[in-house]
Chains A and B, each alone.
Chain A
Amino acid sequence: MTPFPLALQDLLGHWNAYIVYLLIGFAFGYVLEISGFADSRVLAAQFYFKDLTVLKVMFGAIITAMVLLFLSSGLGLLDYNLVWVNPTYLWPGIVGGLLMGVGFIVGGFCPGTSLVSAAVFKIDGIFFALGVFFGVFLFGESVGFFEGFWHSSYMGRFTLMEWLNLPTGVIVLLIVLMALFMFWGGEKLEAIFGGRNLANEPRWRYGAAGVLVLAAVAVIVIGQPSTADRWEMIENVEAARLQNREVQIHPAELLVISRDPSLNVIMLDIRSEADYNLFHILEAQHIPTLEKLSDMIPALLEEPANTVYVVMSNDETLATEAWKILRAESVPTSYLLEGGVNNWIDTFADETFKETQFKSISGTDQLAYNFSAALGSRYEFSQPDPARFDIVFTPKVELEIKRGPSGGGCG
């Protein structure tokens, strides 16, 4: 298992974990201040090409963090799946961004920098921060009128790699090169509009640029771990759980948890479309192939912490492979249906159905019953009444505490 990010709440306790965030915030505020971000004139000068400190600090930070992040992910130190990637709500983001741009040039700060400015007693920073408070209050009171727009154009965890369909390392290198180009152009603009003498600029910046480019190339060479690589990292522990049948849950347990209002149960039915149409458990989602399951991982990772994922196939063969993918991709609290859909039918269907419709099957992952019509989940045993059954089973489902992100800096 990748050692980072840490399960802070597990290690330190609920409130103590916040000390780490306090320290991170401290370093954040300190660095903003020494970079001059408490002075609104420094920030505003960006937009008249006189002093591009904002551009240099921001993009310098983005490329530094990005390169370190994907290097450590490539080396198996950090699990990118457990890193918070702001979900994309395209249009609310763009409209909000434009409004913030207006606020930036009129007011001279952004929310974070205004707090730093207020902390070093700048009165304009204090007024700006008060304005931010007022704007945030207004939003909370008015979002109800356009809730639809605010939730529109949702694309989930959507990365540049998926959008451009390029390997992570290539994107990292392209962004580093783009930033360096902007720095180069920015310095030229500063010389023209701000009268900056570029001869006085430190030479070490060339070295730093070179290191960043080399590191980005290293990200390409190392690559990012595939699902198979990720499974290898956890195989010791997880294969034993599979072997000891700790993760195969009885149909009766699935029935019980699926009716538990405190849990969000996601059933993933990995079978052919024909079998799914013939019969499936109520609310089971159809996933035609393991590739489709892999594509769904980012969406699955966004589900809340009380989610239980249960994969199923006709027996356990394909479901086991699916379960391995979920575990390898750090999907928490995942299980597979013991004996598959066949066992579910065997457990909940009435005796006449079982006697008349049972068929002998050869090979793995075949549906063991005949269905005369493709009624999907409209069978009584698609949605059995728990009160009618008195089945003893060993409960296995345990919610795992989510490691890593608990929401963006915006929640």
Chain B
Amino acid sequence: MTTLTTSKSTKSNGFYKRLQSLIKRQAKPYVHPYLGGILLGIVLFSAFFFTGNGLGASGGINRLIVLIEDAIYPAHIDRTAYLATMAGGDRNPLDSWVVFVTVGLMIGGFTSGLLNGRLNVTTNRGPQMPKKLRWVYAFIGGAAMGYGARLARGCTSGQALSGGAVLSVGSWAFMFAVFGGAYALAYFVRKFWN
């Protein structure tokens, strides 16, 4: 794999080259899944241990949406019970821990991509899947995920992972439903991925 040593010899443009080599470095392989699991477990435990809260992602997205809606049409927010709990009156929808976890999540993902040479503009898709169709399906799948996550009061991180670790009955039922839904449909969309 390429390292930073090549840019050390150049005197001029050192910083630029170093940056370039950082971005263009060869992608490192992913860590072993079990190691990833253990590390993720330690992060999850730390979250509960220090704060009492688990992890989350969809809640942060939710509050960002509400922020935008509140800027455009505040009266609508105040009239809708579900939305008003987050941004009714002078409530700030960003005043919630999950927003900061979500922002940190993106910075952390980006940093890892940068350090491990995995920052590249590309579309990951199955071998038979045209690129633009992949985008359409990604959007549709995302919409189903977003809707389902709010209905279930949490996504894979906030419900399955966090609730699973603290042994909530609802979270375990939810987790099996997610895997059940995906496995049930997997055969019919096999051309998407294979």
Interface string of A16-42 (1 = CB under 8 A from B): 011111111111111111111011111
Contact yes or no, B170 A112, CB < 8 A: no
Contact yes or no, B113 A33, CB < 8 A: yes
Judged by a CB distance under 8 angstroms, whether B194 is at the interface is yes
Contact yes or no, A114 B164, CB < 8 A: no
Instruction: State which size class the interface on B falls in.
Output: 35 or more
Contact yes or no, A124 B123, CB < 8 A: yes
Our pick among A26, A172, A405 for the contact of B107 (Cβ within 8 Å) is A26
Our pick among B110, B139, B175 for the contact of A128 (Cβ within 8 Å) is B139
Query: Which residues of B44-90 have CB atoms within 8 Å of chain A's CB atoms?
Result: 44-59, 61-62, 64-66, 69, 80-83, 86
Contact yes or no, B138 A124, CB < 8 A: yes
Q: How far is the CA of A124 from the CA of B44 in the complex (A)?
A: 27
Contact yes or no, A28 B108, CB < 8 A: yes
Contact yes or no, A24 B104, CB < 8 A: yes
Judged by a CB distance under 8 angstroms, whether A69 is at the interface is yes
- Residues A107 and B59 in contact in the complex (CB < 8 Å), given A96-B150, A101-B179: no
Chain A, Cβ-Cβ closest to B86: A411
- The binding surface of chain A is classed by DSSP as helix
Our pick among B39, B96, B142, B189 for the contact of A127 (Cβ within 8 Å) is B142
Our pick among B47, B48, B185 for the contact of A101 (Cβ within 8 Å) is B185
> Which of B64, B102, B176 neighbours the largest number of chain A CB atoms within 10 Å of its CB?
B102
Interface string of B141-180 (1 = CB under 8 A from A): 1111111111111111111111111111111111111111
Q: How far is the CA of A19 from the CA of B135 in the complex (A)?
A: 34
Report chain A residues within 8 Å CB of B1: none
Chain A, Cβ-Cβ closest to B62: A136
Q: How far is the CA of A46 from the CA of B109 in the complex (A)?
A: 21
Task: For residue B64, give the distance in angstroms from its CB to the closest CB of chain A.
Answer: 8
Q: How far is the CA of A90 from the CA of B169 in the complex (A)?
A: 8
Contact yes or no, A87 B170, CB < 8 A: yes
- The binding surface of chain B is classed by DSSP as helix
Contact yes or no, B34 A205, CB < 8 A: yes
Q: How far is the CA of A76 from the CA of B64 in the complex (A)?
A: 38
Report chain A residues within 8 Å CB of B150: 96, 135-136, 139-140, 143, 410
Our pick among B121, B145, B186 for the contact of A110 (Cβ within 8 Å) is B145
Q: How far is the CA of A21 from the CA of B48 in the complex (A)?
A: 11
- Residues A97 and B178 in contact in the complex (CB < 8 Å), given A108-B124, A134-B143: yes
- Residues A84 and B101 in contact in the complex (CB < 8 Å), given A111-B149, A131-B140, A132-B143: no
Judged by a CB distance under 8 angstroms, whether A116 is at the interface is yes
Chain B, Cβ-Cβ closest to A105: B182
Report chain B residues within 8 Å CB of A18: 97, 99-100
Task: For residue A57, give the distance in angstroms from its CB to the closest CB of chain B.
Answer: 4
Our pick among B31, B126, B170 for the contact of A34 (Cβ within 8 Å) is B31
Report chain A residues within 8 Å CB of B57: 110-112, 115, 409
Our pick among B32, B41, B182 for the contact of A65 (Cβ within 8 Å) is B41
Judged by a CB distance under 8 angstroms, whether B19 is at the interface is no
Contact yes or no, A127 B185, CB < 8 A: no
Contact yes or no, A24 B170, CB < 8 A: no
Q: How far is the CA of A115 from the CA of B173 in the complex (A)?
A: 25
Q: How far is the CA of A171 from the CA of B172 in the complex (A)?
A: 13
Q: How far is the CA of A122 from the CA of B109 in the complex (A)?
A: 12
- Residues A84 and B52 in contact in the complex (CB < 8 Å), given A97-B174, A111-B155: yes
Judged by a CB distance under 8 angstroms, whether B25 is at the interface is no
Task: For residue B157, give the distance in angstroms from its CB to the closest CB of chain A.
Answer: 4
Contact yes or no, B173 A97, CB < 8 A: yes
> Which of A38, A114, A411 neighbours the largest number of chain B CB atoms within 10 Å of its CB?
A411
Contact yes or no, B153 A57, CB < 8 A: no
Our pick among B119, B166, B174 for the contact of A93 (Cβ within 8 Å) is B174
Chain A, Cβ-Cβ closest to B179: A101
- Residues A161 and B167 in contact in the complex (CB < 8 Å), given A127-B138, A409-B56: yes
Report chain B residues within 8 Å CB of A82: 52
Interface string of A359-376 (1 = CB under 8 A from B): 000000000000000000
- Residues A140 and B80 in contact in the complex (CB < 8 Å), given A65-B45, A66-B165, A101-B181: yes
Task: For residue A130, give the distance in angstroms from its CB to the closest CB of chain B.
Answer: 6
Judged by a CB distance under 8 angstroms, whether B43 is at the interface is yes
Contact yes or no, B110 A120, CB < 8 A: yes
- Residues A129 and B142 in contact in the complex (CB < 8 Å), given A5-B51, A85-B166: yes
Q: How far is the CA of A113 from the CA of B57 in the complex (A)?
A: 9
Contact yes or no, B173 A94, CB < 8 A: yes
> Which of A53, A72, A78, A410 neighbours the largest number of chain B CB atoms within 10 Å of its CB?
A410
Contact yes or no, B152 A97, CB < 8 A: yes
- Residues A60 and B38 in contact in the complex (CB < 8 Å), given A21-B100, A96-B149, A119-B110: yes
Chain A interfacial positions (CB closer than 8 Å to B)? 4-6, 8, 17-36, 38-42, 44-48, 52-53, 56-66, 68-69, 72, 77-78, 80, 82-90, 92-125, 127-141, 143-144, 147, 150, 155, 157-163, 168, 171-172, 175, 183, 202, 205, 208, 403-411
Known: A120-B120, A405-B52. 20 other contacts (CB 8 A): A28-B43, A31-B36, A66-B166, A86-B168, A89-B170, A99-B147, A102-B144, A108-B193, A109-B138, A110-B157, A117-B124, A120-B109, A125-B138, A128-B141, A131-B138, A133-B146, A136-B149, A137-B146, A138-B143, A403-B52
Listed by A's residue number, 8 A-B pairs whose Cβ atoms lie within 8 Å are A32-B40, A94-B177, A98-B180, A104-B181, A129-B61, A134-B139, A140-B69, A406-B96
Chain B interfacial positions (CB closer than 8 Å to A)? 30-34, 36-59, 61-62, 64-66, 69, 80-83, 86, 96-113, 116, 118-126, 134-186, 189-190, 192-194
Closest 3 CB pairs of A and B: A107-B141, A409-B56, A60-B37
